[in-house]
Chains A and B, each alone.
Chain A
């Protein structure tokens, strides 16, 4: 019983992180139909930024979000204008190749600069608290709380604000968004900025819990694909559900399957992805199709 509730709590905490980790990937895909294979690298960059700020100024990784978010917004915004807006109308293969190229370039640039030595952010509050016989690691609990706040904020932004509505409009029908006067290129750039910033924030929050190295990104990109297949494109409740399913499944598999260990527990995600694609190629919630398949 104790083991079960511990596994549930650990799974939910991990799921919360996955949910916020996937947002940037899922919203970029949903809004502009681009599958960002460099997703994990932006997470890696966020983690390195948190590490750098921690090492140089002793800045707390959660406090460093104040700097990382605006900076990475700018990076995403410029990347979209300089690169992705030029190819966004091209076939998927093109955007896959370009984002794959970005991913390789970023990982190797970081390797050149920082070597592949693993880096750590050792925060003082790296312990845990016991509550009703269940262990809550402090950092992971804070990540979970921050993840919920970020998701609620993004949800309100997309639903209530004029800019958020223009992003949803562009996602649902690009032609229609244009004819009501939405500047698509600008909306795409803002969307990319928000998404890259959120992804880097996820990396920064993750930094106290795992080793930081240049090639840490790809597993996160692959998990993002799984979660998106589970929860659907560009939908925040879907990201939350997909993240939870993956988090809880991973923890349960590593807790209950003998001899599998944490590392093989990660493989769960891909078994899950294959299973979903075999049973329902359109994704669990029909979400792997673009939100609006334009007839043009």
Chain B
């Protein structure tokens, strides 16, 4: 197997004296879609926050692209090549679609390249091109999610982390979002690490998966194997 792009090694992290993650490890290889599932409170979101420098890592290490990025600042993680699509609405509601995409390039003040990247995003998401002058807050939930993903791609990240891409979306729109993630993976080799509450659909869209429980790794493996695993199904997929 290729060298991993992202390695989280035995990480303990949380708030002040309280660890939410108690030894979580995971790897993501280039070109993979990896999904992290688990019940509420298992620490899924905290994994992202720890990678992104929103909570501090007390023990353990995070490597990205051959560099250690444990406890790096968010803007440094971003310039290293990790973009994030948070769970809550994160468009700039009173800015247009164009302005939102421009903000995606905030760290690189290069107008020519910004225009070029916006053109590229518009090719990936023709829907956004149609709405380029619309105020983002007035678009539908699915369109806003596409804009968030588009904005996360502006800096040509090596990996995009998505915190519950299906949150707050209808089943139909959720399917469309997952199809788009698969398509980006096929077309441009996009590497994705995502968290999903909607475990079954999340795993179905992924290559590999991790199940977290009480801040620790519980299961890991090929997505299909997890979907077939009797224990995982009973405990986490809400079926037998």
- A282-294, CB under 8 A of B: which get 1 and which 0? 0000000001101
A291 proximity list for chain B (CB < 8 A)? 94
| A181: Cβ under 8 A from any B Cβ | yes
| A182: Cβ under 8 A from any B Cβ | yes
Q: B78 to A168, Cβ gap below 8 A?
A: no
| B173: Cβ under 8 A from any A Cβ | no
| B208: Cβ under 8 A from any A Cβ | no
| B229: Cβ under 8 A from any A Cβ | no
- B154-193, CB under 8 A of A: which get 1 and which 0? 0000000000000000000000000000000000000000
By beta carbon, the residue of chain A nearest B52 is A179
Q: B86 to A180, Cβ gap below 8 A?
A: no
Residue of A162, A176, A178, A295 touching B92 (CB-CB under 8 A) = A176
B52 proximity list for chain A (CB < 8 A)? 179
CA of A292 to CA of B12, assembled, Å: 33
By beta carbon, the residue of chain B nearest A174 is B90
By beta carbon, the residue of chain B nearest A294 is B88
Residues of chain B at interface, number, CB under 8 A: 26
Given the interface pairs A168-B92, A169-B95, A181-B75, the reply to whether A176 lies near B86 with Cβ below 8 Å is: yes
Q: How far is the CB of A145 from chain B (nearest CB, A)?
A: 29
Residues of chain A at interface, number, CB under 8 A: 21
Q: B91 to A173, Cβ gap below 8 A?
A: yes
Q: How far is the CB of B49 from chain A (nearest CB, A)?
A: 11
By beta carbon, the residue of chain A nearest B78 is A181
Given the interface pairs A162-B109, A178-B74, the reply to whether A173 lies near B90 with Cβ below 8 Å is: yes
A36 proximity list for chain B (CB < 8 A)? none
Q: B95 to A296, Cβ gap below 8 A?
A: no
A294 proximity list for chain B (CB < 8 A)? 88
Given the interface pairs A179-B84, A180-B151, A181-B78, the reply to whether A166 lies near B106 with Cβ below 8 Å is: yes
A177 proximity list for chain B (CB < 8 A)? 92, 103
Q: How far is the CB of B153 from chain A (nearest CB, A)?
A: 12
A179 proximity list for chain B (CB < 8 A)? 52, 74, 78, 83-84, 86, 90, 152
CA of A168 to CA of B89, assembled, Å: 16
Given the interface pairs A179-B86, A181-B78, A295-B88, the reply to whether A172 lies near B93 with Cβ below 8 Å is: yes
B93 proximity list for chain A (CB < 8 A)? 172-173, 292
| A262: Cβ under 8 A from any B Cβ | no
Residue of B54, B84, B89 touching A173 (CB-CB under 8 A) = B89
Q: A180 to B106, Cβ gap below 8 A?
A: yes
Interface centre among A162, A177, A178 (most CB of B within 10 A): A178
Q: A168 to B86, Cβ gap below 8 A?
A: no
| A183: Cβ under 8 A from any B Cβ | yes
CA of A168 to CA of B136, assembled, Å: 14
CA of A98 to CA of B173, assembled, Å: 46
Given the interface pairs A175-B86, A181-B107, the reply to whether A169 lies near B92 with Cβ below 8 Å is: yes
CA of A169 to CA of B96, assembled, Å: 12
A183 proximity list for chain B (CB < 8 A)? 75
A234-268 residues at the B interface, CB under 8 angstroms: none
Q: A180 to B104, Cβ gap below 8 A?
A: yes
- Please list 30 pairs of residues, one from A and one from B, whose beta carbons are closer than 8 Å in the complex, sorted by A's number: A162-B109, A165-B106, A166-B106, A168-B92, A168-B94, A168-B95, A169-B92, A169-B95, A169-B103, A175-B88, A176-B91, A176-B92, A177-B103, A178-B54, A179-B78, A179-B84, A179-B90, A180-B106, A180-B107, A180-B151, A181-B78, A181-B106, A181-B107, A182-B75, A182-B106, A183-B75, A291-B94, A292-B93, A295-B89, A296-B88
The interface of chain B, by Cβ under 8 A from chain A, is: 52, 54, 74-75, 78-79, 83-84, 86, 88-95, 99, 102-104, 106-107, 109, 151-152
The interface of chain A, by Cβ under 8 A from chain B, is: 162, 165-166, 168-169, 172-173, 175-183, 291-292, 294-296
Besides A168-B92, A176-B91, 4 new A-B residue pairs in contact (Cβ under 8 A), listed by A number: A172-B93, A175-B88, A179-B86, A180-B106
